[in-house]
Amino acid sequence: MESTTPVQFTMPDRKRMRLQVGIMLAVMAAGFVLGMYLVAAGALPRQYNLAVGEAVPDIDVPAGFEIEVFAKDLAAPRYMVVEPTRGTLLVAERGANRVVALPDPEGDGSPSGDWFVVAENLAAPTGLALDEDWLYVAEGAQVTRVRLGEDLREVERETIVRSLPAGRNENEIDPISHALLIHDETLYISMGASCAACPPDDPRRASVLAYDLDGSNERIFARGLYYVLGLAAEPATGTVWASNQGARACRMMCPKPFMPCKPVMMAAGGSATPAASLTPMQTRPRPAKGWSSPWPC
């Protein structure tokens, strides 16, 4: 029977182990303190477990408005649209590949709880827009329109726009979000940039595209927008507005031509023709000591 000799640590070994353990604990403590500081500074979002109907804290809203939890336990909801005849909220559940309806029959901001599926078997749906009984749905690399029946459930569907850039670059298949707007018989679709500071892999990147309502006649309506998250048309003038996220972490990563500048709301021409440039219309500082920027600056 072999005898085993216990492992003995020399003094330098013990010191080295203590030093390694000390460094590890110091890094963990520094990470905890940094995380708490970033949350307190508003750079990282706080996590809340709120009930339906409960007020949402830490969001500034105009006087006379308030924000409450309307519904929860949805699978990565991304965009919403209100069906005008019933006032029913339609929500794109990106994580469940479907669109659901959240009825509010009393019109008091409280859902009835009788959710139902409007359309399913979609590919990571995001942007939504309505035109009469057609619901337009932006998916990862295409736009589909779904005809709704009187019960707001799908009757038929057709894909009207195909082969949109699906991810952040040509090698990425994960879908990005597309905002949709239907205005003046024109369908507008936002298309994000490839990355914070690199040549686009598709000329349609970093733009807002315009189509006829059947998906034909593609053209670039406005370009130079890093990542448009929302589109709207001003009723009085017909001007199309876009809310632009701006490149993330650009202050540290980007060369000087891409350094961040103030976030703005951008507006292009009121008609659906390609716009050579965008006009900053309203400066909107980001709250809680954060920052964002148009792209490129």
Q: What is the pLDDT of residue 284?
A: 37
Q: What is the pLDDT of residue 205?
A: 87
pLDDT by 10-residue block (mean), the chain, 297 residues: 55 70 78 66 65 84 89 92 92 96 84 88 95 95 95 96 74 71 95 75 87 96 85 87 70 43 39 38 35 35
Q: Could you please report the per-residue DSSP string of the chain?
A: ----PPP---HHHHHHHHHHHHHHHHHHHHHHHHHHHHHHHTSSPPP--PPTTPBPPS----TT---B------SSEEEEEEETTTTEEEEEEGGGTEEEEE--TT-SS---S--EEEE-S-SS---EEEETTEEEEE-SS-EEEEEE-TTS-EEEEEEEE-----SSSTT--S-----EEEETTEEEEEE--SSSSS--SSTTSSEEEEEETTS-S-EEEEE--S-EEEEEE-TTT--EEEEE---TTHHHHS-GGG-----EEEEE-SSSS--S--EEEEE-PPSTT-----S--
Q: What is the pLDDT of residue 125?
A: 94
Q: What is the pLDDT of residue 217?
A: 96
Q: What is the pLDDT of residue 257?
A: 40
d(CA 56, CA 6): 60
Tell me the Ramachandran region of residue 133: left when phi exceeds 0, alpha when psi lies from -120 to 50, beta otherwise.
alpha
Q: What is the pLDDT of residue 80?
A: 96
